Amino acid sequence: MNLLPEFRTLRPATLGEAVSALSAQGAQALGGGTDLLPNLRRGLGQPATLVDLGALDDLTGIAVLPDGSLRIGACTALETIAEDALVRQAWPAIATAASLVAGPTHRVAATLGGNLCQDTRCIFYNQSEWWRSGNDYCLKYRGDKCHVVVKSDRCYATYHGDVAPALMVLDAQVEIVGPQGSRTLPVAQLFQEDGAKRLTLQHGELLVAVRVPPAAQWRASYVKVRIRDAIDFPLAGIAVALTRDGDTIAGLRLAITGTNSAPLLVPTETLVGATWNEATAVALVQAVRKTSNVLLTTVAAVKYRRRVLLAMTRKVVDELWSDS
């Protein structure tokens, strides 16, 4: 049986204490632990200290701010977000994405911050220590070669988070606090396309909340394809936000997950002003194909993941267009 490595846990009572604890060498944030703890049990990582954010009341809860935007604390459970009446009514794509993460027992413990910051995944990495050592490890952890892109000098492990793309198409921002103070970033800029260094967070920083502007005329949706509907990560996922002015696309944002080392916004600017017809659908599918980089990082075939991604693109926009 795999055991957890030795580490210390701290449960700070204030944000200041949390930042100070996370600034120490080898410290790592702990949300619900549903991503981090299974990885540690597999020998992936050896933190000296886990900083449990669960006692920070300021990081929990859902509120609508005076300007009509939504603020969700980073330690809010995904189940709470998925069930929240206001989120479901005004920002349904976020509630849907949260409701599709893992299984029900995970969602009760799993937090929004942990969901965004979850590790990237690869069939050569999410394995037992015994399996990985038998394959000389890999570039991401303890090794010097990538088995997926053999001549690569970077890791291509895939980001499979469900909530990030829904937030990205709604133009959401993340509030970050760290040793240098606080800052706010568009959600897309929290990520970088490197499977071994997926986040742009600096040492000691943590996510405090996510802020989403009023949905106004935007209609948005999130869909994913997975092996078992009851529990699995997305083999591919897509979020779309659309505004329509008569027969014209007035605004279009699209983000993908489960395909690259980061959730990515697909360039759609050239389609704004067009109508939604066959030519526009072909151009959008092409843009998704160009942005995505599906590799052999999951047990499902690359060709299948690419095909469902492209098929979902057209279907989601079709549905949003008809409903607008």
Does residue 40 touch ligand FAD according to CB under 6 A? Answer: no
Q: Which does 282 bind (CB under 5 to 8 A by kind): ligand FAD, ligand SF4, none?
A: none
Pairing of β 62-64 and β 70-73 = antiparallel
Does residue 35 touch ligand FAD according to CB under 6 A? Answer: yes
Tally the C-alpha atoms within 13 A of residue 52's C-alpha that lie toward its C-beta: 13
Instruction: Find the binder of ligand SF4 among 27, 117, 122, 169 (CB under 6 A).
Output: 122
Q: Which of 134, 125, 143, 130 is nearest to 198 (CA)?
A: 125
CA distance 243 to 265: 17
115 with 82: CB under 8 angstroms? no
Scan residues 100-159 and list those touching ligand FAD (CB under 6 A): 101-102, 106, 109-111, 113-115, 117-119
Helix and strand numbers (H, E) in the chain are: 11, 12
* Three-state SS at 243: strand
Quick one: 30 or 155, whose CB is closer to ligand SF4? 155
Does residue 198 touch ligand SF4 according to CB under 6 A? Answer: no
Quick one: 9 or 286, whose CB is closer to ligand FAD? 9
Instruction: Find the binder of ligand SF4 among 139, 238, 255, 262 (CB under 6 A).
Output: 139
121 with 300: CB under 8 angstroms? no
Quick one: 243 or 297, whose CB is closer to ligand FAD? 297
Beta-bridge mates of residue 280 = none
Q: Which of 205, 146, 151 is nearest to 180 (CA)?
A: 205
CA distance 81 to 241: 19
Q: Which does 235 bind (CB under 5 to 8 A by kind): ligand SF4, ligand FAD, none?
A: none
Q: Which does 321 bind (CB under 5 to 8 A by kind): ligand FAD, ligand SF4, none?
A: none
110 with 74: CB under 8 angstroms? no
H-type alpha helices, the chain: 15-22, 36-41, 78-83, 85-90, 92-99, 104-109, 112-117, 129-134, 163-169, 278-291, 302-323
- Size of interface with ligand FAD, in residues (CB under 6 A): 33
Does residue 147 touch ligand SF4 according to CB under 6 A? Answer: yes
Quick one: 115 or 260, whose CB is closer to ligand SF4? 260
Quick one: 50 or 271, whose CB is closer to ligand FAD? 50
Stretch that binds ligand FAD, among 186-194, 227-235, 260-268, 277-285 (CB under 6 A): 227-235
Applying CB under 6 A, the residues found at the interface with ligand FAD are 28-36, 38, 53, 74, 78, 101-102, 106, 109-111, 113-115, 117-119, 160-162, 206-207, 231-233
Applying CB under 6 A, the residues found at the interface with ligand SF4 are 122, 124-125, 138-140, 146-148, 155-157, 195, 297
